[in-house]
Chain A
């Protein structure tokens, strides 16, 4: 685009200065330049790319996003300035950041059945749960290293419980067979073909399908929400206790296996929800958040099991995540196309994102960023959101069918599973 050309002399011009927090090769000179006021994000991005190219001839064009006074520009500069009431007389400071959008779609990793759960909290692998009763561990796209075999019904949720730095990995899976199973494997160990492993501990106690599993930060405990309206807390240690052994023997007889399998009972049960507990998260050691079909989000004291606070939404909630600024914002989605974000101090949602067309099945905050989160919906779309704008940053349409689960992976990828039985990985997202 010819910025200084006479072709656009008639349109108004704005004096802007581009600033950034990005590293050296992405920095542009801070001198102010006049740009046409009808430029949109794309135009601004071209300018920045041109400027970068001027300094570095080998520069490859990259999309940027622009912030003016902490808000993302999603319309033409002129409209934006008018809408925000910013004067065009002064030199406008525009901060640019890398656009948050996937630049690469990796090949889908096929499953035997619907992918119901995915966990990408560990950078070394992706954990998925599937309707074929199995859990899987993926090293990369299409590379399955472990198969977690043992559930007798669809796996509904998976969660990594390994504390940081541990060599062997412990994961938990919840299933419709009313159990939570704990698995241990060495993620670093190279394998050529998928290894079947068995759960080292089976946690029984729920009376209906387990819907969600979350681990304590230390990894010593897991909690699980279920269709029987309760949240159970379990211990993850592999210490063999007297009571457990007895039942293990029984299992041995039944299953005719040599490996010892522990059984555990719930440490405590958090009762209070009146309907299915669809999602639990345990972001801090002391409090558990849970979302339920009874339209409420509750915060529980993990020690005492007391219900600390309630947020009522009016809709059935399917997914919940806590993160954002100060790791305190609650994002939840449910039986309507609106992703809501609450500040726990207020009862009304502070943000509502309504670009989806159907139920929201998953929502996750980005680990590092305060502003970014993703949402997955039954309309087959994944959306990346920034709190600084009401429009989705990008829409990923890798699935053809419902997206049942989604998570961030390695901080720059989005992993998602859907009813097309695929695990999709969209990578190279710079947040």
Chain B
């Protein structure tokens, strides 16, 4: 191959004029004898090598000549070819050789010409050429036009050079004809347009013409196949009989075993539970309707006497709630004839239909969890005794709702204030009212001085705060108190623009032998400091001057120099440190009164309206009650959000209280109940407080929509005092 290639290239490099001339001559000859070209191919098998050589030469000549003549039409193909490697060229040569051979054998094989050595000229005028094996005439092919004959010769390597030349000529002639007639016929334009539209080229062609089946299958008299039935169809199969014998043997010997026939249950449960059949049903959504209750012995027309209720029992049914009453009362009849019509027949039918039709049946996925196990493990209430449980003593005497109650330090007395304008002192032990002040205005809050030496009562009513001498305590104490509660010169409000000065005036109240502190707005709450010298008052409408701290020994008031955000509700002193808690509607603010005098902490309750606040005697925990009936426990060391939120009361919580020594706290609400909780605070910082609900204390009755207005623990006993809107104070004892 390489050598051939080399030759070819060499030859291609030096085309000679002679060859060019030869080439020009050759197509002319061939064109002249185009009709018999095929036969020439078949006969030229002998000198194929020569032909190959000549074709090589001619090919190279073509490329050379094309380059010379520079025709655009061929320059494309030429460019492509010249861009290819020489290897390709050589391969193409080779393939040309193969094609030439196959052409000679296959193309003309089908009508095998057995013309023999008869010269073709003899058939020149005949419509056929020679004969086939059966002696039939082989028809001559129609004369192809120039292009057809050319195309038939495209593959023909022998005519390769002629093809190129012809192509060239054709192109030239077409060009010339195109030039000649530049206008198309109308039909042609239509045709082109239809083609452009993507339709069939001919207008009269219907692509959606109805299909006509030309073959008739029905009523065919004769089978499609004319073949006779084979014999084997009529003979029993030998192989099958062999197989059957084999099976019979296997069954007899017990090699093959059959499943036992399934036994169909003879009886079906007519009234049985349908739950099983539901699983069988393919529809997952299908839930069978519950079946009505089966009649029992008691529904018999003549039931045994033990089923028939006595008259007393029937009467007792009337006392039951309508839903609890038995639906059917058994009765005895002597015969079936005497049974009256069932009076509820229609009603029952109707209700059953309603049940079936309206009652949505839903598959409920139920987790099989013991609800007890979900509850947190809390200690038993029994172990947390003592705590207030029962009301034993009532303190009666007030004419209107008791708004506030306060216990004396020793626990011998309690004081109460009421909307009827009285302040009373009661003996805890017997429930006797020992003092009664007619103050003439609804009392908001009473607060007993926590110091045991100073049995002074602070009472807030309207715009005033009264400091009352209770008259308890020995003479020495009385003298001291009288000194304390004496004002030489009443102080007017000093509104000199100083931030610290207050607008509270201290007046001597001769009627009650006490001091009257006149505020400019309604005072809602009074709270003593643990030492009994300072006390704070809250005026919710006082805006920036809402909270004052008063000093009894100095008879001096000052206003809290901190800006409040929100309406103040209540305030309280820290039990051990100099901190001050202010409850506003939404949150709790803790201020340091000494030292830096600033906001230390802000506790977010998350409530809409805070109503009360109480501090654990250790000072680190506080509870806040809200008007939504929720109560939250703050561990101030832990975070500024509630440690626990207790949703207990259905109505407003009016007050919350901590016990001074027992781990108890309580909340009271307008729903006429007080809740008692165990609230253990551990000294170990790692242990969170333990909160256990203990008891719901009932007993108060609602009055004007209000229930229990205040609750206070006895300072030394696990007892709870509750002040109700029903004008009664109750003592709940352990």
Interface residues in chain A, defined as those with a beta carbon under 8 Å from any beta carbon in chain B: 114, 116, 131, 178, 207-209, 227, 275-276, 278, 293, 314-316, 318, 335-337, 358-359, 378, 402, 404, 419
Contact = CB atoms under 8 A, between A and B. Distances in A.
A313 to B, nearest CB: 11
Interface string B408-430: 00111000000000000000011
A335 B716 CA distance: 14
Contact of A419 (B385, B392, B412, B430): B430
Contacts of A318: 429
Given A208-B410, A209-B412, A293-B717, A114 B432 contact: yes
A227 B408 CA distance: 13
A227 B412 CA distance: 8
A404 B392 CA distance: 14
B474 A207 contact: yes
A336 B432 contact: no
B393 interface: yes
Contact of A378 (B392, B410, B734): B392
A314 B412 CA distance: 19
A275 B661 CA distance: 14
A316 to B, nearest CB: 6
Given A208-B412, A209-B412, 8 more contacts: A208-B410, A314-B386, A316-B733, A335-B392, A358-B392, A359-B392, A378-B431, A404-B430
A97 B128 CA distance: 163
A316 B717 contact: yes
The binding surface of chain A is classed by DSSP as loop
A116 B430 CA distance: 9
Interface residues of B, number: 18
Nearest to B410: A227
Nearest to A206: B474
A404 B393 CA distance: 13
A178 B716 contact: no
B346 to A, nearest CB: 54
Contacts of A378: 392-393, 431
Nearest to A153: B434
28 contacts: A114-B432, A116-B430, A131-B432, A208-B410, A208-B474, A209-B412, A227-B412, A275-B411, A275-B716, A276-B410, A276-B412, A278-B429, A315-B734, A316-B717, A316-B733, A335-B717, A335-B733, A335-B734, A336-B390, A336-B392, A336-B733, A336-B734, A358-B393, A359-B392, A359-B733, A378-B393, A402-B431, A419-B431
Contacts of A207: 474
A316 B714 CA distance: 12
Interface in B161-199: none
A227 B411 CA distance: 10
Contacts of A315: 734
B659 to A, nearest CB: 15
Interface of B: 385-386, 390, 392-393, 410-412, 429-432, 474, 716-717, 719, 733-734
B607 to A, nearest CB: 36
Contacts of B430: 114, 116, 402, 404, 419
A419 B717 CA distance: 24
Contacts of B410: 208, 227, 276
A133 B432 CA distance: 14
A293 B716 contact: yes
A55 to B, nearest CB: 47
A404 B429 CA distance: 10
A175 B258 CA distance: 109
A359 B391 CA distance: 10
Instruction: Pick from A208, A227, A335 the residue with the most CB of B within 10 Å.
Output: A335
A316 B733 CA distance: 9
Nearest to A177: B474
A84 B47 CA distance: 147
Nearest to B430: A404
A404 B734 CA distance: 20
Nearest to A204: B474
Contacts of A178: 474
Contacts of B386: 314
Nearest to B431: A402
A29 to B, nearest CB: 47
A131 B431 CA distance: 13
B682 to A, nearest CB: 24
A116 B716 CA distance: 24
A318 to B, nearest CB: 7
Contacts of A336: 390, 392, 733-734
A315 B525 CA distance: 34
Contacts of B716: 275, 293
Contacts of B385: 314
Contacts of A337: 392
Contacts of B412: 208-209, 227, 276
B474 A419 contact: no
B472 to A, nearest CB: 9
Contacts of B733: 316, 335-336, 359
A419 B432 contact: yes
Nearest to A359: B392
A104 to B, nearest CB: 29
9 nearest A-B pairs in the assembled complex, by CB-CB distance = A335-B733, A358-B392, A359-B392, A227-B412, A275-B716, A316-B717, A207-B474, A178-B474, A227-B410
A402 B410 CA distance: 24
Contacts of B717: 293, 316, 335
Contacts of B392: 335-337, 358-359, 378
A293 to B, nearest CB: 7
A114 B410 CA distance: 23
A131 B392 CA distance: 21
Contacts of A227: 410, 412
A273 to B, nearest CB: 12
Contacts of B734: 315, 335-336
B392 to A, nearest CB: 5
Contacts of B432: 114, 131, 419
A249 B444 CA distance: 48
A74 B560 CA distance: 71
A314 B431 CA distance: 22
A419 B392 CA distance: 15
A314 B385 CA distance: 10
A193 B161 CA distance: 172
B426 to A, nearest CB: 13
A355 to B, nearest CB: 15
Contacts of A402: 430-431
Given A275-B716, A316-B717, A359 B474 contact: no
Nearest to A274: B716
Instruction: Pick from B385, B390, B412 the residue with the most CB of A within 10 Å.
Output: B412
